Amino acid sequence: MARIPASEQPPAGAALRADAERNRERVLEAARHVFAEQGLDASTNAIARRAGVGVATLFRRFPTREDLIAAAFAEKMHAYAEAVDDALAAPDAWHGFCAYLERVCQMQADDRGFADVLTLTFPTAKAFEEQRKEIGEKLTKLLDSAKATGRLRPDFAHQDVPLILMANAGVITATKDAAPDAWRRLVGYLLQAFAAEAAQPLPDPPSRAQMYRALKRLAPTPHGARSSG
């Protein structure tokens, strides 16, 4: 007798058996560790091995890679959201903005997987994407406030934020081992460029739609997706 109506699948909230829940947690912990070290294209086997479970267990709990990624990075996404909240709460919006960018880039530097997550979308991970949308709206407010102080240049575009994250991801990928603080230099330059005092004409930013499409590019499938195109 099922303690849950269980029409077909455990209705998304159904409690797992205790051992299963334990294993789920172990997989997530392993995934977080491995993704942080190797990036999003780490192999499923490596994660299962580290978790000390069979691959089948991993796949049963997280049928698609997006499921695993979304679950593994849920906490970091919250921290990411917190960063905007803190920035909005800062007494000076410009300083809030600067601190926000540094904090987020630091998060990228600390976690290669997260660096990738911030430059991608995961359309099937709904909670994830809703959160991203919410963060985006708060970010708009932050930018407006920062511009209102007269310190952030008025032509700074919302799309410039993911652009920075992409650039930062590039630096981190290349320098993580040999020069782990190199990204600070990049961000330092950029923040000075974002100051209103420095403002000179710029090329147009990519449109929001373009940027969204860029974020929607294929997530780094460990292998195989390469040949499908």
Binding site for a second copy (CB under 8 A): 38, 43, 119, 160, 163-164, 166-171, 173-175, 177-179, 181-182, 184-186, 188-190, 192-195, 197-200, 202-207, 210-217, 223, 226
Closest CA to 194 of 139, 142, 151, 137: 151
Q: Which stretch binds DNA (CB under 7 A): 29-37, 44-52, 126-134, 197-205?
A: 44-52
**Taking a C-beta distance cutoff of 8 angstroms, is the pair 152, 146 a contact?**
yes
Alpha carbon distance 154, 114 (integer Å): 29
- Which of 12, 133, 227, 229 binds DNA (CB under 7 A)? It is 227
- Is 147 near DNA (CB under 7 A)? no
57 binds, among a second copy, DNA, none (CB under 5 to 8 A by kind): DNA
Closest CA to 189 of 205, 170, 167, 211: 167
The token pair at 108 is 């990228």
- Is 123 near DNA (CB under 7 A)? no
Q: What's the helix, strand, coil split of the chain in %, to 5?
A: 65, 0, 35
User: Helix (H, G, I), strand (E, B), or coil: what is residue 113?
Assistant: helix
**Interface with DNA (CB under 7 A):** 1-4, 6, 10, 16-20, 22-23, 43-46, 52-57, 59-61, 63-65, 221-224, 226-227
